[in-house]
Structure 1
Amino acid sequence: MNKDQVKGVAEQVKGKVNEAVGKATGNKAKELKGDLQQGAGEIRKAYGDGKEQAKDNAKRNAP
């Protein structure tokens, strides 16, 4: 697991918390912020997954 995967998951968690707080308090801006954070976290984690996959492929194809 690389730092992009970890930070992506952390961003997703922060987003879920913000979304829940926004829903509970009726704060649409905080709810939207949470949605956006979750999306950004998913993208960063996917980027980290890709890096990890590339590293694994390079190890498999090394002489």
Structure 2
Amino acid sequence: MVMEEIYLLTHHAGYSAEYIENIPVFKRRFYLNLLKQELMGIKEEQDRIASKTKHTVSSRRR
């Protein structure tokens, strides 16, 4: 679990490995939660944009 947390925070959030290894567990989990919230926000925004640009075939006149 610890190695996965360090991997996620170093590669996806851009923190230095030395910093992440030396911080307390609660702070590491806090940063993971922030990363998760940011990713969820990005996904919701992409879904919102996709739903606005979706074209249906049934709405076209023939």
Bigger RCO (CA 8 Å, 6+ sep): 1
In the alignment, is the contact (CA less than 8 A) between 1:18 and 1:30 conserved in 2? no
Q: TM-score, normalising length from structure 1? A: 0.52
Residues 1:53 and 2:50 are matched in the alignment: yes
Query: When the two structures are aligned, how many residues end up with a matched partner?
Result: 46
**Percent of aligned pairs with the same residue?**
7
TM-score, length of structure 2 as denominator length: 0.53
Which residue number corresponds to residue 27 of structure 2?
A: 30
**SS of structure 2 residue aligned to 1:16:** coil
For structure 1, list consecutive stretches of 5 or more residues without a partner in the other structure.
Answer: 1-14
Structure number with bigger Rg:
2
Q: Cα deviations across residues 7-63 of structure 1 (Å, max 9, x unaligned)?
A: xxxxxxxx825685332x232121101110111111111100111101111xx4576
Q: Give the aligned CA root-mean-square deviation in angstroms.
A: 2.7
Unaligned runs of 5+ residues in structure 2 are: 1-11
Q: Which structure carries more helix by proportion? A: 1
